[in-house]
Structure formats: structure tokens, C-alpha cells
Amino acid sequence: MLRILRKLAEDRAALVGLILILALIAAAILAPLLSTHPGDVTEFHTARRLSPPGPENWLGTDRMGSDIYSRLLFGARITLTIAVTAIAVAVLIGVPMGLIAGYYEGFGSNLLMRVSDIFLAVPQIVLAIAIAQTLGPSIENVILALSATYWPFWARLVYAETRSIKNEPFVEAAIALGCSPFRVMVLHILPSISSSIIVRTTIGMGGTILTAATLGFLGLGPPPPTPEWGRTIAESREFLPMAWWYAAFPGLAIFLVVMGFNLLGDGLRDVLDPRLRRAARHGK
Amino acid sequence: MSAEPILRVEGLSKHFPVRNVWKRRIGWLRAVDDVSLEVSRGEILGIVGESGCGKSTLGKTLMGIHTATSGHVVFEGHDIAGLKPHQSRKYREHLQYCYQDPGASLDPRWTIRSSLHEPLIVHTALKEEQREQRVREILRAVGLPETHLDLYPHEISGGQQRRVGLARILTLKPSVVILDEPTSGLDVSVQATILNLFLDLQRAFGLTYLFISHDLSVVRLICDRVAVMYLGRIVEIGATQAVFETPRHPYTQSLLAAIPKIGGPRVTDSFALEGEPPSPTNLPSGCRFRTRCPMAQPLCAEQEPALRADWPAQRAACHFAE
């Protein structure tokens, strides 16, 4: 663990990613303390509608006169909740599915993989929009739509890794020793492929946040007055280009967070999965 | 030979389906084809043959890593053919398989201690202290210091990894151990050390070995009996001395002629076998050795020879062997 952290610290891009993510988490947890107008998530101040950034409202105000800086901080909570829950559900579905399908080769595992192929063939965002549209706008439905469309990535990854590691002598030896399939899968195979799962999950977080923001932008996210970042940008369209701060700061927040996860994911891959790094170098 | 064999194999076959690009089955690869043999308690049975003759598949089918296509494997009175290892766990506790490189059978992410505890966790209900005691005992027997318990496989040498791999199998006090090419890839001095270790362990634990190897000199040195395999079938089986001194099957004869001797003729001058063995997916009719056999006759193409017990302590599958 320490070794991994030290190597990450040497990789400047990964370090930047880590700092961005830590900042996001801090913003989400400490939102009530850091925000200048904690009440503005639900309160309106029509008198100071659309005021530009200044000493009173650091990042300006929106069409209801609420402080954008404060709303962004509370929005971080929503973003993090959606991304973490959706990814957790996707991992909990995809990883066992991939493990089982990769371990037992037969009709059942082929069926599972074809189903995930179908999910992967449909553009993710389209599928998520369809699900979210059908179920109606709320945080829970966004999470549901995202996890339902994301699990095949983990199923595919874990399936491929399991297939290749199943022929390693140490796995075969464990089977020959009489270990139960469950024991072999959870104690021998899973730890060996955990690094690629971690890498995929980190990079997947960025993608999920982006998709969640897109759903919010399209009005399929949590309803107003929730300070969701994507929805904030959607609201700002009517007031552009005059009220540039209205769209710019939520957009910047999304950009930084997604970039943070991607940078950290790349860095983690270099540290945890040296095979991929070597392949990339040869490619260049 | 005692009356009651500890391991009896009857008509064991393992065929792998051969599929074309559309996954349609277009044939069978007969890796092990109708093999019968008996192993008595306490003996070392060598299994020799060219690479690809089905030696390792035989060992893995006995272990249940491959499920047998047909036939019986009777081990200590139970038929275990066709059962997966975890299904026949009770019976197989005393039948263990030792990989070509026992070091590679260790999970690289586990300490030596966890790897050695695992067989006991799977097969026994021993408490942690009892397991630890057994593990330490075995570790001493294979000649490793207890300080190695907390190390990872990559932190010890290749020879030590082999010892740990062996220790892992021995913790269950097996009666039969299948050794798959245990000396390949080792230099001669290490080979000798490992062979001596095998013999010491055999005496200490009363083991029976199935010794799969292509190294005829090693087999001659340590085996009591030898079975010669060709394309998935046993062509000759018998006491080591009898097989090496008076080989009956032409295949065995040419194999033995291929052992280099110091001061002897160059092997390439006298080697009788030509070409590669035919593909096991497309076996010749009759005797499967006839395409390379120097004494093939028309009868060989028509009829497959059975193992004949025409000699004391020796059987061979050839129509014309004398």
C-alpha cells in the first residue's frame, strides 16, 4: 500500500488527479462549513439575481439569486453520491458475473457474455437516457440507469482476466488440491485481478460523473431546486453569453473532477498493471 | 508386488474435442486412449514417452483437473473418475499432484505460510495451532527454515520454491503423489538433490509415486516399474530392469537407443525413428506406431495389438515383439 502511494507521488499527473479527487471529497463532506450561503440551496434572493462574481457572491449568482459557489459545493455531494453508488452497484453486479462466467465455461457463461455484449453495443448514454426517461427524474433513477448500463464493462473485464488467469499453474494447483470453486474464485483469482478492477473503476468514475451530468443537463436528473451540476448548466443557457459565470463554474467543476479521476486512473494503471504500461510504450 | 493395488486405472480415456473456426466439432484429439495400469503401495511407477504422448494428460485426468471421457480410476477402493476435485475431496485427500514446477503452483500473492495452511483448511477441521504445527513439521522434512514462512514465493530461490510446493502437497499426508516432470529444467546437481529429496520423503512418509518424465536415465535410476506411452496408449509396461535390458516393443527399443552414452556411437547414426509421430487427431488404422515402425507388416494396419503378457514382469503391445 505504501509502495503504491510512493510511486503515485512520483507521477505528477496522478498526484494532480489525487488532489482533485480529495478536493471533491472534502467539498462534499465540508459543504456546510465551506459555503458562504449554506441556505441558498433552497432559498431565493430575487433582488440579487444573476449578479457577477464579486466579494459577496464569489462565483456569482444564478437566476434565483442563489450563490453559485455554495450550490456547487452541495452539488459535489450529489455528484459523489450518484457516481459512488452507481459504480458500486455496477461493480457488485459485473464482477461476480464475470468471475462466474469466466470460471465455468459453458452455455450459461456464453449467455451472460452475449447479454453484456448487447448492453455494450448500445451507446451507453442512449440507454441511460431511455431508462431515466422511463422512470422519471430523481437521484435514485439516475443511479439505477447508470448502474444498469455500466455493469457490462466490469463483467467483460473480469471475464477476460479470469479466463486468462484460470490457466495459471497456481490456479490449476488450487483446483487439483480440492479447493471449492468459490474458494478458488474469491481467494485466488479475485486478488490477482483486483488491480485491473481498481484501475477500471477509477477511470469509470470519471465517465459516470460525466454521464450523470449529461442526464442532469437533459432534465433527467434530480428535479430543481437540487444543485446538480448538469442541471445548473442547462438552466444557464437562457442567460448566455451575458451571465458567463452561470455556466462556466459548474462546467469547470465537472471538467476538473472528470480529469482528476482519469489522471488518477492512468497513474494507478501504470503502478498496478505494468503489462499495460509496457504495451503503451511499445505502441508509441 | 502386493496383492491390493492402491491405484487401479481401467480403460481410462481423455478425448478433447477439436473444433473449427465456427466451433463445430470436427474430430477428437485422443490424448489418453484406453489406458489401464495398476500401482502398488510403496512403488515408483515411471511413465515415459515423447512430448505430446499424453503423459501429463494422464496425470491430470487421474487428478480430475481434466474430466475423464470414459474408464475408471479406483483409488483406495473408490472410483473417482469423472469427479471434479472438490466433489471427490474426501477420497482425493491422499492422492496429490505435483506440478512440473511446484514453485509455480504457489499463489504469488500469498505468503508461504498461507499457501501451506490452505490444503489443511480445505481438507481437515484442524485448529490453527494444530495446522501450524503440522506445517512446521513438513517444512523441516523438506529442509527449509521456519523463517521462510512469512516470505512470498518471489522472495525465495527456485529450488526452495520447489520444496515449498512439495511441502504443500505433503501436509495432507498423501499416499500417492503424481510427479509431473519433476526434474525438467533443472541442472544436474539440483536434479540429484531433488531426486534424493523425493526418495527420502518416500521413505519418511511411505509414499507411492507416479513419476511422469521423458528423462529415461532418471527413470531408470529411481523407478521400480516403467510404462512407455505412445500417442495416448501404453505400448509397454514392466519392471524397470526388464524394460531397459530387454525392450520388447520397437518403440521402446528406439527410445532406449536414443539415450546418449559416453564413448558410445553417435545417437544420430543409430536412431531408428523417422519423422514426427502422427497427429493424435488423425490416428493411423491398426497399430498407431506402424507409420514409424521399422518392422511394420500388413497385419499392423488391420489389427490394433493388445498388451501381451508373454514375458515375466513385462507386457508389450506389438504383434511381432519377441
Average pLDDT over residues A79-92: 94
Q: Indicate whether B24 belongs to any domain.
A: yes
Average pLDDT over residues A204-233: 89
Q: Indicate whether B260 belongs to any domain.
A: no
**Residue, of A204 and B272, whose pLDDT is higher:** A204
pLDDT for residue B89 is more than 80: no
* Gyration radius from chain B CA atoms: 21
Task: Look over chain B and give the mean of its residue pLDDT values, rounded to a whole number.
Answer: 84
Please identify which residue in the block is written with the cell numbers 503423489.
B177
Please identify which residue in the block is written with the cell numbers 509431473.
B180
The band of A281, judged by pLDDT with boundaries at 50, 70 and 90, is very low
CATH code at B69?
3.40.50.300
The band of B133, judged by pLDDT with boundaries at 50, 70 and 90, is very high
Alpha carbon of A2: minimum distance to chain B alpha carbons (Å) = 16
**Residue, of A26 and B297, whose pLDDT is higher:** A26
Q: Which residues of A touch B168 (CB under 8 A)?
A: 177
pLDDT one-digit tens code per residue, B210-244: 999 888 888 988 899 999 998 888 999 999 989 98
pLDDT for residue B161 is more than 60: yes
The DSSP H or E segment spanning B315 is strand B314-316
pLDDT for residue B191 is more than 90: no
pLDDT for residue A201 is more than 90: yes
Note the pLDDT of residue B1: 44
Note the pLDDT of residue B265: 62
pLDDT for residue B280 is more than 80: no
Note the pLDDT of residue A20: 93
Q: Indicate whether B294 belongs to any domain.
A: no
The minimal CB distance from A170 to the residues B63, B65, B107 is found for B107
The band of A280, judged by pLDDT with boundaries at 50, 70 and 90, is very low
The closest of B224, B176, B211 to B75, measured between CA atoms, is: B176
Note the pLDDT of residue A189: 93
pLDDT for residue B3 is more than 60: no
pLDDT for residue A1 is more than 80: no
Sheet containing B208-212, strands listed edge to edge, beginning at the edge strand earlier in sequence: B95-98, B176-180, B208-212, B44-48, B225-230, B233-239, B314-316, B308-311
Q: Indicate whether B231 belongs to any domain.
A: yes
pLDDT for residue A274 is more than 70: no
Note the pLDDT of residue A205: 92
Chain B's closest residue to A191, CA to CA, is: B109
pLDDT for residue B141 is more than 90: no
What is the total residue count of chain A? 284
Average pLDDT over residues A153-176: 90
Alpha helices in B36-81 (DSSP H): 55-63
Give Cβ neighbours of residue B239 (< 8 Å, ≥ 6 apart). Answer: B224, B225, B226, B313, B314
B118 with A174: Cβ contact below 8 A: yes
The tally of CA atoms less than 13 A away on the side-chain side of residue A82 is: 31
Ranked by mean pLDDT, which of A80-84, B171-175, B191-195 comes out on top?
A80-84
Note the pLDDT of residue B268: 58
The closest of B162, B38, B43 to B98, measured between CA atoms, is: B162
- Rounded CA gap, B118 and B124, in Å? 10
What is the b/e burial string over A189-198, where b = at least 16 CB atoms within 10 angstroms of the residue's CB?
Answer: bbebbebbbb
pLDDT for residue B16 is more than 70: yes
A191 with B109: Cβ contact below 8 A: yes
pLDDT one-digit tens code per residue, B300-316: 888 888 888 878 888 88
**Residue, of B273 and A145, whose pLDDT is higher:** A145
Q: Which residues of A touch B85 (CB under 8 A)?
A: 175-179
Note the pLDDT of residue A279: 45
**Residue, of A175 and A252, whose pLDDT is higher:** A252
Alpha carbon of A112: minimum distance to chain B alpha carbons (Å) = 18
Note the pLDDT of residue A182: 92
Note the pLDDT of residue A60: 85
Number of domains in chain B: 1
Chain B interface, Cβ < 8 Å to A: 60, 63-65, 85-86, 89, 92-93, 96-97, 99, 101, 104-109, 118-119, 122-123, 165, 168
Which of B19, B90, B118, B172 best probes binding to A when mutated, by most A CB atoms within 10 angstroms?
Answer: B118
Distances (CA, A) of A152 to A3, A159, A192, A194, A266: 31, 10, 20, 17, 21
Alpha carbon of B267: minimum distance to chain A alpha carbons (Å) = 35
pLDDT for residue A253 is more than 90: yes
A250, burial (CB in 10 Å: exposed 0-12, middle 13-18, buried 19+): buried
The closest of A49, A32, A36 to A235, measured between CA atoms, is: A49
pLDDT for residue B263 is more than 80: no
Q: Indicate whether B224 belongs to any domain.
A: yes
The closest of B208, B222, B210 to B42, measured between CA atoms, is: B208
Q: In the beta sheet, which residues pair with residue B233?
A: B230
Average pLDDT over residues B79-88: 74
Domain that holds residue B88: 5-94+174-251
Q: Is residue B92 within 8 Å of B178, Cβ to Cβ? A: no
The minimal CB distance from A178 to the residues B89, B105, B107 is found for B89
Q: Indicate whether B127 belongs to any domain.
A: no
Note the pLDDT of residue B266: 62
pLDDT for residue B57 is more than 60: yes
Sign of the torsion angle spanned by Cα atoms A228, A230, A233, A238: negative
Ordered structural domains, chain A, with CATH: 11-40+57-283 (1.10.3720.10)
Average pLDDT over residues B1-20: 80
The band of A282, judged by pLDDT with boundaries at 50, 70 and 90, is very low
Alpha carbon of B89: minimum distance to chain A alpha carbons (Å) = 6
Note the pLDDT of residue A77: 92
Q: Indicate whether B151 belongs to any domain.
A: no
The DSSP code sequence of B176-239 is EEEEESTTTT--HHHHHHHHHHHHHHHHHHT-EEEEE-S-HHHHHHH-SEEEEEETTEEEEEEE
* Gyration radius from chain A CA atoms: 22
Q: Indicate whether B101 belongs to any domain.
A: no
SS3 readout for chain A: CHHHHHHHHHCHHHHHHHHHHHHHHHHHHCHHHHCCCHHHHCCCCHHHCCCCCCCCCCCCECCCCCEHHHHHHHHHHHHHHHHHHHHHHHHHHHHHHHHHHHHCCCHHHHHHHHHHHHHHHCCHHHHHHHHHHHHCCCHHHHHHHHHHHHHHHHHHHHHHHHHHHCCCHHHHHHHHHCCCHHHHHHHHHHHHHHHHHHHHHHHHHHHHHHHHHHHHHCCCCCCCCCCCHHHHHHHHHHHCCCCHHHHHHHHHHHHHHHHHHHHHHHHHHHHHCHHHHHHHHHHC
